[in-house]
Amino acid sequence: MTWTIARKEIVSNLLSYKFFIVLLLTVVLIFTSFFIMHRDFKNRLADYQITRPKPGDPIALVPPNPLSIFAKGLDEALTRSFEISVIGITVRAGQKSGNVIFSFFPTPDFLYVVRVVLSLVALLFGFDQVSQEKERGTLRLMLANTVSRAKILSGKWLGNFLSLAVPFMLVTLLGIVFLSLDPDIHFSSGHILKLLLIFVMTLVYIAFFLSLGILISTVTKRAASSIVILLFIWALLVFIIPNLGTLLARQVVNVPSVRALSEKRQQVWTREVLLSIGEGGTRERSIWAEHVRAISEENDRLEENYRAKFVRLVNLSKNINRLSPAASFVYAVTDIAGTGIEEESHLKREVVRYKDSIIQDIISSIISDSRTKEYPAFQYNYRTLSDIFAQGALFDTAWLAFFNILFFALSYYAFVKYDVR
């Protein structure tokens, strides 16, 4: 009986103008997003080919991530140029987007389309499933038979979910096929697996908003009331809460600016240079080597202090933002794609290790009075899926699944108590 009701919902959606409008909207948005982000990726890849360091240069630079086409996240921060010197690490702009529109509007990647547009579409599929059938009197006729309310609700949820998810996934897969035709875009087996996981997260996210829509429909008497309430909740979950967390966290954790940190590093350099000159460091290589080591160690302490405060700010902000499933969805998808906050932290730790090895080479060259030195190239490996899930993505996935189960259970409870008269 559940599948019978689901088929009835699917047929009803296929015969409605709402389905074709949603299908057209999905096709336009997905293909527009892929086209824009594909061009953006190609431009940043061309910038990387120009700015990539020569062999022997002490510069850490990674190419743009192909998965940034789907979830750009912090990919521009990850692809910045990290130049290593005695002063420390100098960060310069890397493969920045050449699209000035991104400065005024959000990046129209796949993640944005799902987070904002598909969540609203899912609400539109669920807002009238109970309240409108009550207004029409069809719900009372349906319950006059021996069909249980659990089967009715499950059938409605399944039918509407398939009506939304299947066309969306087919359009998305077609877009990926077109992207893969470009020889400059190579999706490895690891990328394909990550894309599959992103699709699963997308379906879970859409399912949550569908459950939310059905829940509100079961606690209201009119469909017009349902849509007004859902629009308020949607704005709260998608826009207000995810942007409120950082503002609240900054009131608790005080993090110095990057400019202040850079000026402090410059002060350390100036102080040690003056001390080395006063001690005859320009003539004694061992003295100058010790001051280089002192500069590196103090810069490391400054960086560790800054990173500790920054990590506390990020963690507090993320925990507040997770009150919204939209935030958990963004955190999980960007982490899986390799463009998230944890990936940036991992990159910076690897750059610090690279810097330490370069400083050791510099000290050795000072002591041995070697003027020409080729440094090893920076090699960066993105985190494995096991590391990604262990470091936060598993929690966000489980948290989003919990919201799904909770809101569907609340929908069932409200539907059992629903007065169909």
- The single-letter DSSP state of residue 69 is G
Residue 317's alpha-carbon distances to 241, 307, 323, 332, 388, in angstroms, are: 10, 15, 11, 15, 19
> pLDDT tens digits, residue range 314-325?
889 999 999 999
Q: Say yes or no to pLDDT of 116 above 90.
A: yes
Please give the pLDDT value at position 102: 62
Kindly report the pTM of this predicted structure. Answer: 0.89
Instruction: Compute how many other C-beta atoms are within 10 angstroms of the C-beta atom of residue 157.
Output: 25
- Give mean pLDDT, residues 346-354: 90
Of 333 and 290, the one with more pLDDT: 333
Please tell me the predicted confidence (pLDDT) of residue 232.
Answer: 94
pLDDT of residue 65: 94
396 pLDDT exceeds 90?
yes
Burial 166-177 (b: 16+ CB within 10 A, else e): ebbeebbeebbe
- Evaluate if residue 343 carries a pLDDT over 70: yes
Residue 231: the pLDDT is 93
State mean pLDDT over 60-83.
91
Q: 36-40, 308-312, 335-339: which range is least confident on average?
A: 308-312
pLDDT tens, position by position, 198-252? 999 999 999 999 999 999 988 888 888 889 999 999 999 999 998 888 788 888 8
What does the alpha-carbon distance between residue 197 and residue 206 come to, in Å, rounded to a whole number?
14
* DSSP type of residue 67: G
Q: Is 70 exceeded by the pLDDT of residue 30?
A: yes
Domain ranges in the chain are: 2-416
Which pLDDT score, from 0 to 100, does residue 259 have? 67
**In the numeric block, which tokens belong to residue 415?**
């539907």
More confident residue, 339 or 312: 339
Task: Specify whether the CB–CB gap between 96 and 369 falls below 8 A.
Answer: no
Residue 54: per-residue pLDDT: 86
- pLDDT at position 148 is 81
CA distances from 40 to 6, 45, 64, 182, 195 (A): 41, 9, 10, 14, 19
In this predicted structure, the answer to whether residue 62 has a pLDDT above a threshold of 60 is yes
409 versus 101: the higher-pLDDT residue is 409
Residues in the chain: 421
Joined together, the tokens standing for residue 154 give: 């499950």
Instruction: Kindly report the average pLDDT of the chain as a whole number.
Output: 84
pLDDT score, position 97: 62
In Å, how far from its chain's centre is CA 29? 19
Residue owning tokens 């009550």 = 134
pLDDT of 356-387, one tens digit each?
888 887 777 766 666 556 788 899 999 999 99
Task: Please give the share of the chain, as a percent, with pLDDT higher than 70.
Answer: 85
Q: How confident is the model at residue 287 (pLDDT cuts 50, 70, 90)?
A: low
Confidence of residue 56 (pLDDT cuts 50, 70, 90): confident
Least confident of 15-19, 59-63, 333-337: 15-19
